Structure 1
Amino acid sequence: MSFSATVLNAFASVLLVGGSLASLACAQGADTPSFQQLDSMEARVQGCVTCHGPSGQGTGSGYFPRIAGKPAQYLYNQLVAFRDGRRTYPPMNALVAYLPDAYLREIAEHFARQRPDFAARETSSLDAATVARGKTLATVGDVQKGVPACMACHGARLYGVEPGIPGLVGLRSSYIAAQLTRWRVGERRAREPDCMKRVATRLTDADIAAVAGWLSQQSAPVDAAPEPAALQRMPYACGSQPLGAQTTGGGQ
């Protein structure tokens, strides 16, 4: 792929500020990588693997989630959201600020193809009643609150659904709880209609802790490939889903 010197210089500056190309620069004995080195997949993902792991497997802390194996369209949507300011985390916003759509799509497709091992499950301190509530929310939902089951959208195995719904297995409870809370208070947004905001605003703090805890305890699969595009309608319309998937994303 060919990009202008302006774009490549901007990308190099962002990565170098974050230190993600420090080892490459030292190996070269130069301050700035060449354009040819920047325009390779290995160089493009240096800023990603610094936090998310060499293959996007995430970290045990939960601050940097597993991105490996998630649907490419979902990863692309998140990169665009960080670039355009709909999702806020300053290091990510800076990293992708100057990157065009085609560049972000190739990065997303790269991590969607990765299949590293899952990290060991975290230790849970939740009581039995909380675990049971979390399982109910994930597998059945809460009709009285108008909360659909996580499985209704994220797949029966919770591995995600093509083309744009992420898997939840393998994420730490702290990360899941943080994202649900950010949706609930408006710090995280998706294109309208924002189905996750609709769900999150109907959850209490206790609900969020319960479902996050239960999800984090699910066993890692041998192959967590996302399920094929669903044929049935999802509970709510989701503006974040690509236009070609709207036939599976109708709703109320």
Structure 2
Amino acid sequence: MIRSFFRARLLGLALLAVSSHVAAQTTTPAFADSLAQRVKACVACHGAEGRSTSDGFYPRIAGKPAGYLYNQLINFRQAKRTYPMMTYMVSHMSDAYLQEIANYFSEQNPPYAAPQANSVPAAVLERGKALVLKGETSKDLPACVSCHGDKMTGVAPFIPGLLGLPRDYLVSQLGAWQTGSRHAAAPDCMQSVAKKLSAEDISAVASWLALQNMPSDSKAVSKSNANDAASFKLPLSCGSVPR
């Protein structure tokens, strides 16, 4: 009798487990193992599709050239760029996985937000415009457009665009290169450029860039089309841009 009781009890528990499993299968949605699902940790800070957020602290990564994004992920992993959360996230990711992430965000193209107005004096904006478009020979300082392209939308696959970024973010990154808290592969061309800029120059360049509208074609140009030349050649050696 006792044996029969336990058999009945075990059968009841088994039936309950099966019914619970079936119920779970019918109520729990299937998990989509896609790259879009895996990068949810990225968009939590960088915004949906990598379009950035209104505070401007986390930059737009959508549409940036894949080679540039990959280099930045490597730089975070190697502590050339210092932000503990980013370093922690990428520290155990393989090169191949980082390339997948870079490729994914490079293919996103959400609309850009309108430039944020600022009250920078006209003379400061003119100074910024001159540095961006012409550089300064007396400082051996190349124009920003000579590397980042005529439209400032970047040159694929390794050079990012500079439009669509908030003034404060641009100031912070130029300052980080100038002080040595941000690095790239040697020779570090951006550190070389930043060290030739005064604090006033950095403010002027960032202010002018942040006010510019994004052109209708916001994608980075290819090397062969950069600056309307038959071929693209940087004005200085840059370890992040293989020759």
Normalising by structure 1, what TM-score?
0.80
Distance 2:100 2:216 in 1: 25
Give the conservation status (yes or no) of the 8 Å contact 1:60–1:172: no
Of 59, 65, 79, which aligns to 1:71? 65
% identical equivalent positions: 47
Distance 1:156 1:84 in 2: 32
**Where do 1:1-252 residues align within 5 Å?**
40-229=34-223, 230=226, 231-241=231-241, 243=242, 246=243
Distance 1:28 1:221 in 2: 45
Unpaired stretches in structure 1, ≥5 consecutive residues: 1-26, 247-252
Amino acid at match of 1:148: P
Give the conservation status (yes or no) of the 8 Å contact 1:67–1:111: yes
Distance 2:61 2:193 in 1: 22
Distance 1:155 1:212 in 2: 17
Distance 1:138 1:226 in 2: 17
Give the conservation status (yes or no) of the 8 Å contact 2:51–2:61: yes
Unpaired stretches in structure 2, ≥5 consecutive residues: 1-26
**Structure number having the greater helix percentage:** 2
CA RMSD after TM alignment: 1.7
State the partner residue of 1:3.
none
Residue-pair matches, total: 211
Amino acid at match of 1:130: V
Give the conservation status (yes or no) of the 8 Å contact 1:159–1:168: yes
Amino acid at match of 1:163: P
Corresponding residue SS for 1:144: helix
Q: Which moved more, 1:192-201 or 1:60-69?
A: 60-69
